[in-house]
Amino acid sequence: MTIARDKQTFTNILTALGAPAALAYLNAGVPHRYSAIYRLQDGMFENIYLHDKQGEVIPEFLAVVPFEVSFCQFVLRDTAFSTDDSAADKRLDRHKYQGVVASYHGVPILDETGELAGTLCHFDVVTHPLCETEFELLEHAGRAFPARLLQRPEAQVVADEASAL
């Protein structure tokens, strides 16, 4: 049985099963090995959710990435960022991870005030294109993921307990 690849199915999975299942759903429709959510905090992009097709632990160099060397920084600059082949992408000339992270497609996750709280992305160490329909689904997902998912787990618990009062 094939699961539909559409915005409503994504939203239903996110609502019913949470962020890890929704990320796995997004990853199932693309050739990229990784799909991830990064939180922007104190000049660093910290990986908080990762789906790896191979089921391995994220490489250390991708767990926490300084803003100035991340591909995520271009999401802030350009509202979204896509490269099928970073080694050939002139926008990335002399970038530390050009050719290392070979393909990257990312969109913003905004907080309640419209500021960048993090990014949602597909990436791999080999080149991959991302079709337009999957990029549109990624954009929808970036808007659908609530920014509260990007809070530290302790802060989220405190916020949830406070709202119950």
Domain assignment present for residue 113? The answer is yes
How many CB atoms within 10 Å of residue 3?
A: 11
**pLDDT category of residue 2 using cuts at 50, 70 and 90:** low
Residue 74 has pLDDT above 90, yes or no: yes
The pTM of the whole model exceeds 0.95: no
Average pLDDT, the chain: 87
Domain assignment present for residue 54? The answer is yes
- CATH number of domain containing 154: 3.30.450.40
Using one digit for the tens of pLDDT, what is the confidence trace for 3-49? 678 999 999 999 999 999 999 999 999 999 999 999 998 999 999 99
Residue 111 has pLDDT above 70, yes or no: yes
Expressed as residue numbers, the domain containing 84 is 7-164
Domain assignment present for residue 30? The answer is yes
Domain assignment present for residue 1? The answer is no
Number of domains composing the chain: 1
Domain assignment present for residue 67? The answer is yes
Domain assignment present for residue 110? The answer is yes
CB 127 within 8 A of CB 37: no
Paired tokens of 89: 């992408």
